[in-house]
Amino acid sequence: MGMEALKEPECDADCNQDSHQDKDVRINWKKFVLVGLIPIIIIFAVFFAVVKFIGRDNYDDVVMLIDQNFGLLGIFLYVYIVDTLIMPLSPDFVFPIVAGMNPFVVVPLIGTASALGGVTSFGIGLLIHKIPIVKRLTDKAFVRWGAYIRKYGTLFVLLSGILPLPFSTICSVAGAMKLSAKKVLPCCLVRYLRTALYFTFFSLGLSAVA
């Protein structure tokens, strides 16, 4: 399935074929949850083991060192870039670093960076046919996620904002498929909720070590 499947329908045969294929698409909730949670569980397990091994005081020293060298701006930029571009990185890597910080500072900061990343990804998707290099990088994403977005629309974008699914990729595909910005962009706000939940998860884990 190439970019032609994402353009406005000009051929009834192509549209009927896509519609028929989309009917076979089902969200396997168990698979999505299990596969989606694996990365965050691994990150948490490594985080817990490292803090347990080096001790809370040494952990605080490492966090202070990172803060002095990169600061909150560095955290913001990392999350924004990862949630904007399609790359083999996760915004969840910041939670082990910020787990001991002020939640009233880092949660709005990370939530805003993540939400803005989704908005930017959506914008890139709208312009994707004009950026050949981006088109090449996202062709596989269209094949994998396009049918889900055609069938479930903004609901699938919302799910990608909550579950550990490739948020930037799905937002880009949603933009390329020209879903309504009035419906998609508010879905990006769910990243604030996700950030609060993940921060709480890591923060409790850090407290358990101390």
pLDDT in tens, 102-132: 999 999 999 999 999 999 999 988 887 666 7
- DSSP 8-state class, residue 127: T
Q: Is the pLDDT of residue 1 over 60?
A: no
Nearest partner of 99 among 203, 204, 194, 208, judged by Cα: 203
- Give dist(CA 55, CA 138) in Å, integer: 42
- Taking a C-beta distance cutoff of 8 angstroms, is the pair 142, 7 a contact? no
Q: For 14-56, how does the pLDDT look when each residue is reduced to its tens digit (9 = 90+)? A: 444 454 455 567 777 777 777 777 888 888 888 989 898 888 8
Residues 178, 126 contacting (CB under 8 angstroms): yes
pLDDT digits (tens, 9 = 90+) for 146-204: 888 888 888 889 988 988 788 998 998 898 888 899 999 999 999 999 999 999 999 99
Q: What is the pLDDT of residue 197?
A: 93
